[in-house]
Structure 1
Amino acid sequence: MTTVLAMLDRNTGQSPGDDRAAAAAAAEALGVDGVTAGIGTGPSGSVLAWGSGAVSAQVDHLQFTLGQGPGTDCAATGLPVLAPDLLAAESRWPAFSPAAGALGVRAVFAFPLSIGAMSVGTMLAHRAVQGPLADGAYTDALSLASAITVVLIERRSVRDGVQDGVVPAGWAAPETYRAQVHQATGMISVQLGVGLAEALVRLRAYSYGQDRPIADVAADVVARKLRFNES
């Protein structure tokens, strides 16, 4: 893990290649298959800002779409959430656990990105094999989360880093940028005369019920192809 922390210390800019290398090294050191980190807390979710891997991005996307999962709970409480066996945790996350299982993910470990008592995001590690983290990996994960927090804060916040809808090159998964989802949430709020939190729940429920990516549904709402007061 010392090597990973040194890589992070050198990469305070926005180099996707360095981010991918550091994320791969971090995953190996923790004994997991992928590690990502996102900035943002609360019901609106986070935006991926560090890491790499298609499965990692899909796990994050599932949590955002369904509004549940270890990372979602971690963001809400500011405390680590460990799910070494997602099948056993299906009662806790009835939609997320089987959906993650379909991706081949059996264990997920979430750690807060914090500055003092303030949580600013979440680091997520996943693995295809169920079981707890190896001895010492929990402490290493906390150290990694602290280092990632410093790197991402130095790169500025996600919101400040976005200009004209373009995601900075250093972000791990540009496809997960969710400005359009938030725009659609606002439109649904107006259409139904409900608050933003309920509008986001309606959007998530529609996406889940139709088995469509939430980004696709949001795009239809923004393009005025779908109106929730007519559906």
Structure 2
Amino acid sequence: MKTFAALLFLLLLAGCAAFPGDELPSQPFRAPASERQQRPNVLVEFNFYRGEVEDAKEATSIAVAREGLKPRLRQVLEHSQLFDRITLVPEPGKPDDALLRLKLYNSTSYAAAIASGLITGATFFLVPGTARDDYVLTAEWLAPGGSTPTRVRNASSVRTWMGVWFLPLAASHQAGTAIEDTFARQVNEALRQLQAAGVFTDHSSPQGNGETPAPVTP
């Protein structure tokens, strides 16, 4: 009986497939050719929080998640061709850097996930179970020498399905991959929003944000 239970548990773990939500387009953002002539230098402060953006003071910083997403963040920023030099905190910035502050908030409905999991377990994983993680990204852009930041935000999600029917998809739809994909969509959307607001076209001030290190919670 113990062996059977262990096999069922392993089957549940193996039969998980995660999918990005369809709230945001998957197409990467690339700056128009007209905005690639005078590209700003940017200091990027990024943090990952567990909690609600509306209750940001109670949110918990997750350093492991932040560091795990940084390579994908740099990839998206470089692909956009918006910036001449990209510096990720905690590296020191330069005096002519603009500041891009990104905060990603993750929240989950635990009650719904537990209820779904109980039903799945009671049916020996024949009835699929599901859990949804919601992600809200806020972005602030402070131009070199500026005093008033431009703020935008967007939301997306990752849905994880559990059950024997998802065994064929488990290897190709892992949770980490889905989270990275969703994060990339959100950063691309934030860049689109900032580009639409015209923040990348004014590079007139020689004063920057690199002299003051941006704080990052461990």
User: Using CA pairs below 8 Å that are at least 6 residues apart, which structure has the higher relative contact order?
Assistant: 2
Structure with more helix by fraction: 1
Give the TM bin, normalised by the shorter chain.
under 0.3
With the length of structure 1 as denominator, give the TM-score of the two structures: 0.26
Which structure has more strand as a fraction of its residues? 2
Greater gyration radius: 2
- Structure 2 length-normalised TM: 0.27
